[in-house]
Amino acid sequence: MEDALERWRSEKTAAYLSGTVAAYEPDPAKAHLFREMAHAAEEQAAILAKDLEPVPAFAPSLRSCATASLIRIFGPRAMKPVLSASKVRGVSVYGGAQFGDARFIRLNFGTQRSRLQEALKRIKSASRPSPRG
């Protein structure tokens, strides 16, 4: 049962993130591809759900929510290295309260330093200066 539950959560997470990328992808052809990926993941989750009793409500993890927020802020293209890192190596997200300030989150990336540096470079080039300076 646990294996089916974890696979179900993995498919629901893939659908959630693919849907977020589709919503913020400016290229219509790529957006369509990501919508199809989200749909396929939902279909797979529905198949897996047949082995779950009861089927739990899906709530994206903190890591998935943080990734989706970054996609909304910077766009899918700037976040490509981060998405690749989370898919291939893993991204850990921790609430900031355990580090002294609940207003923040801590992201740990399990990837090559060069890949993370490229991700940060792309995020910086996509970001806008704060109106507060």
The Cα angle at residue 93 between residues 34 and 76, in degrees rounded to 5: 25
To the question of pTM greater than 0.75 for the whole model, the response is no
> Are 61 and 95 spatial neighbours (Cβ–Cβ below 8 Å)?
no
Tell me which residues of the chain have a pLDDT lower than 50. Answer: 1, 88-89
Helix or strand holding residue 64 (H, E): helix 62-74
pLDDT, tens digit, for every residue of 84-120? 766 644 555 556 676 678 787 666 666 677 877 887 8
Partners of 109 in beta bridges: 91
Find where tokens 């591809």 sit.
33
**What is the DSSP code (8-state) at residue 94?**
E
